[in-house]
Amino acid sequence: MSLQELQELERTSVIHSYARQPVEFVRGEGTRLWDEQGNEYLDFLCGISVTNLGHCHPRVVEAVREQVGRLMHVSNLFYTEPAMRLAQALSQSSLGGKVFFCNSGAEANEAAIKLARKARPAGEFVVALGAFHGRTYGSLSATPQEAKQAPFAPLVPGFRAVVATPEALAAAVDERTAAVLIEPIQGEGGVHVLSEECLQAARAACDEHGAALIFDEIQTGMGRTGSLWAYEQTGVQPDAMTVAKALGGGLPIGALITGERLADVLQPGDHGSTFAGGLTVAAAALTALELTAEESFLDAVREQGKRLAEGLARLPHVQEVRGRGLMLGCELDVPAPDVMQRALFEQRLVTNATGPTTLRLLPPLTVTAAEIDEALERLAAALED
């Protein structure tokens, strides 16, 4: 089918909720993607930080093939080894409590919101301005962006957004607060790193008032920032965190991970999902987690992240480079959507614009120095046009 035919099918048959770029990708390997005409692209977006191990990582492909050929799905009415082992691995790699599985980032935040409300009945939530936590009602209510929320009012009550400063966060928390839900680095909001003082102030306020501190590590997790979880580089440990995106090595899975204090709040009947923690996605995630948690793998993420950040800072029209590891945003003095399109269609470099002047780069964590240099050359050409 040609791209024109796909566009016609979209026009007649698909609810128009996405603004797609006119390109169809049909194959991927590592950092490379190919479109239906055989053109090769460098993928510095990774399906928005999903394919962190590069496209079609052979070990993930093998794990999935092996599992789908044996048993694909049975339901959480029964035991399955991949889910139990994945829960153990996630907990041991982070907060030491227990894990609830689901199928996406928004669902992971829904689970976190329900858990925090159950721990403090009728409690309220404090979130940061500029945050993005998802599109379902709970997670949308935690996403204080007028354009995303307004058409869907009324939202879930009890959410309050404050500027992400230590003072505002501390002042917003009291004995009615169920949780502070926060991204250690705001992703969709334009790659804004929350200061250590902010996170510490939120931690202290939650401790003082018995509220839960929940980190949304859906985008920052799974090695993206150069440590397995972003909180490890902050000196602040949350009471729970949500992960998704790269967790499944390219397949859809999300998880809520608690520390010990919140591990037993949810009880049978409180929450659930048919597909959650299914055999195939759990097998893929186990493999992805194993590959990502290697110290040498994470060292390389930090090293390549430094190379990319330094290279970006030298490009024309780049005013500022923000982020950590291989989660980087460039503030431009020209429109970022135009640069993104020129990079995509003229240079065959996949990136994305998170705002009018912010270009975001999320290459695979397996990216090589040569690929980074090549991407920088392509981006320089797109910026100079």
- Whether 306 is catalytic is no
Q: Which is nearer to ligand PLP, 188 or 371 (CB)?
A: 188
Tell me the C-alpha distance between 207 and 210, whole Å.
5
Residue 133 is a binding residue for ligand PLP (CB under 6 A): yes
Between the alpha carbon of residue 178 and those of residues 157, 192, 262, the distances in Å are: 13, 25, 12
The one segment of 57-65, 149-157, 212-220, 269-277 that binds ligand PLP by CB under 6 A: 212-220
44, 100, 125, 132: the catalytic one is 132
- For tokens 């599992």, name the residue: 67
The SS3 assignment for 328 reads strand
Residue 219 is a binding residue for ligand PLP (CB under 6 A): yes
Residue 250 CA neighbour count, 13 Å, CB half: 19
Among 179, 199, 244, 349, binds ligand PLP (CB under 6 A): 244
Q: Which is nearer to ligand PLP, 222 or 382 (CB)?
A: 222
Residue 164 is a binding residue for ligand PLP (CB under 6 A): no
The one segment of 132-140, 147-155, 277-285, 351-359 that binds ligand PLP by CB under 6 A: 132-140
Tell me the C-alpha distance between 293 and 150, whole Å.
40
Quick one: which of 294, 361, 370, 383 has its CA closest to 43? 361
Residue 140 is a binding residue for ligand PLP (CB under 6 A): no
Residue 225 is a binding residue for ligand PLP (CB under 6 A): no
- Whether 216 is catalytic is yes
Token pair of 215, please?
């980190």
Residue 134 is a binding residue for ligand PLP (CB under 6 A): yes
Residue 110 is a binding residue for ligand PLP (CB under 6 A): no
In what side-by-side order are the strands of the sheet with 318-324? 318-324, 327-332, 358-361, 352-355
Among 101, 132, 159, 231, binds ligand PLP (CB under 6 A): 132
The one segment of 91-99, 100-108, 192-200, 354-362 that binds ligand PLP by CB under 6 A: 100-108
Strands (E), the chain: 25-29, 32-35, 40-43, 99-102, 124-128, 159-162, 177-182, 185-186, 192-193, 212-216, 240-243, 254-258, 318-324, 327-332, 349-350, 352-355, 358-361
State the Cα angle at 143 between 268 and 208, rounded to 5°.
70
Among 106, 236, 241, 289, binds ligand PLP (CB under 6 A): 106
Q: Which is nearer to ligand PLP, 177 or 220 (CB)?
A: 220
- Whether 44 is catalytic is no
Minimum distance between the CB of residue 323 and ligand PLP, rounded to whole angstroms?
A: 13
Pairing of strands 25-29, 32-35: antiparallel
What is the total residue count of the chain? 385
Q: Which residues are catalytic?
A: 132, 216, 245
Contact positions toward ligand PLP, by CB under 6 A? 104-106, 132-134, 183, 187-188, 216, 218-219, 244-245
